[in-house]
C-alpha cells in the first residue's frame, strides 16, 4: 500500500506540474505582510510532514516588510523551493535546515525573500541548467519545479535566481517588485 501510495503521489505531482505549465493562472498581486505570511506557510509546511519544526526558521527585517505578489502563486514558489531543500539536501546524519530570510536589497531597496539550505552546494557548472524544464538529478523528479517557480515569479514581476555569493549551502532569492504600480504593470 505504501509503495502504491508513493507512486500515486508522484504521478499526481507530474500531472499537476504539466497542467500548471499548460494553463498558468493569471497573477493577482496583493499586498502581503511577509513575516506573518511566512509564519503561516512554515506551519503548513511542517504539518505536511515534510520536516520537523526545528528544521525551519524565519527572520524578516524589517519585521513589517510588505511585498506584492499573488498569495497562492507565492505559496507554490516557496513550497517548491522548500521541497527542493528537503529532497536534494539533508541526510540522516545531517538533517536539512531551511532558513527563510526576508529583507531589502542594499542598493535598490527592493524587497526579497531568501530560501537557504545547509546542503552541499550545487555544482557551479549546473546552476544555469537547474531552471531549464525537465532538468533533474533526481530519479523521481520531473525537473519542472524551478522552471515553474521562475515562470510564476516573472508573471508577478518578481525574479527568482540562485545566489552564487553565499557563505555555505544554497540560496534561492525571490526579488519582489517594489511598488504596487510595478506589480500590476504586467497585467495592464
Ligand atoms: N536546494 C537544492 N539543493 C541542491 N540541488 C538543488 C536544489 N534545488 C534544486 N536543485 C537541483 O536542481 C534540479 C532541478 O530542480 P527542480 O525543482 O526543477 O526539479 P526536481 O526537484 O529535480 O524535480 P521536481 O521539482 O519535479 O520534484 C534538481 O534536480 C537538483 O539537481
Ligand atoms: Mg523540485
**Fold held by 26-187:** Heat Shock Protein 90 (3.30.565)
pLDDT tens-digit profile of 122-134? 999 999 999 999 9
Centroid of ligand 1 to alpha carbon of 115 (angstroms): 13
With the most atoms of ligand 1 within 8 angstroms of its CB, the residue from 82, 86, 120, 136 to mutate is: 136
Cβ within 8 Å of residue 150, ≥6 positions away:
131, 160
The Cα 4–Cα 81 span in angstroms is 26
**For residue 136, which atom of ligand 1 is closest to its CA?**
29
| Res. 63 pLDDT band, cuts 50 70 90 | very high
What 3-state class would DSSP assign to 90? Answer: coil
Residue nearest to atom 25 of ligand 1 (CA): 145
- From the list 147, 151, 146, 158, the residue with the least C-alpha distance to 69 is 158
pLDDT tens-digit profile of 68-120? 999 999 999 999 999 999 999 877 778 899 999 999 999 889 999 999 999 99
pLDDT tens-digit profile of 155-167? 999 999 999 877 7
| Res. 24 pLDDT band, cuts 50 70 90 | low
Residue 60: the pLDDT is 98
Centroid of ligand 1 to alpha carbon of 138 (angstroms): 7
Centroid of ligand 1 to alpha carbon of 62 (angstroms): 30
Q: Are 49 and 65 in contact (CB under 8 A)?
A: no
CA 118 from centre of chain: 15
Residue 75: the pLDDT is 94
The Cα 48–Cα 53 span in angstroms is 11
* Omega prior to 62 cis, within 30 of 0: yes
3-state helix, strand, coil in the chain (%, to 5): 45, 20, 35
Amino acid at each position: 500500500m505504501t509503495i502504491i501510495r508513493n507512486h500515486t503521489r508522484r504521478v499526481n505531482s507530474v500531472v499537476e506540474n504539466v497542467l500548471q505549465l499548460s494553463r498558468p493562472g493569471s497573477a493577482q498581486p496583493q499586498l502581503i505582510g511577509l513575516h506573518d505570511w511566512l509564519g503561516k506557510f512554515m506551519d503548513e509546511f511542517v504539518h505536511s510532514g515534510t520536516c520537523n519544526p526545528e528544521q525551519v526558521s524565519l527572520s524578516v527585517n524589517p519585521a513589517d516588510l510588505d511585498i506584492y505578489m499573488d498569495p497562492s502563486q507565492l505559496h507554490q514558489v516557496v513550497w517548491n523551493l522548500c521541497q527542493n531543500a528537503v529532497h536534494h539536501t539533508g541526510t540522516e546524519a545531517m538533517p536539512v535546515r531551511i532558513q527563510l530570510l526576508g529583507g531589502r536589497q542594499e542598493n535598490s531597496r527592493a524587497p526579497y525573500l531568501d530560501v537557504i539550505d545547509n546542503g552541499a552546494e550545487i555544482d557551479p557548472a549546473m546552476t544555469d541548467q537547474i531552471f531549464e524544464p525537465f532538468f533533474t538529478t533526481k530519479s523521481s523528479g520531473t525537473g519542472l519545479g524551478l522552471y515553474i517557480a521562475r515562470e510564476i515569479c516573472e508573471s508577478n514581476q518578481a525574479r527568482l535566481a540562485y545566489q552564487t555569493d553565499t557563505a555555505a549551502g544554497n540560496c534561492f532569492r525571490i526579488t519582489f517588485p517594489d511598488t504596487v504600480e510595478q506589480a500590476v504593470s504586467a497585467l495592464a
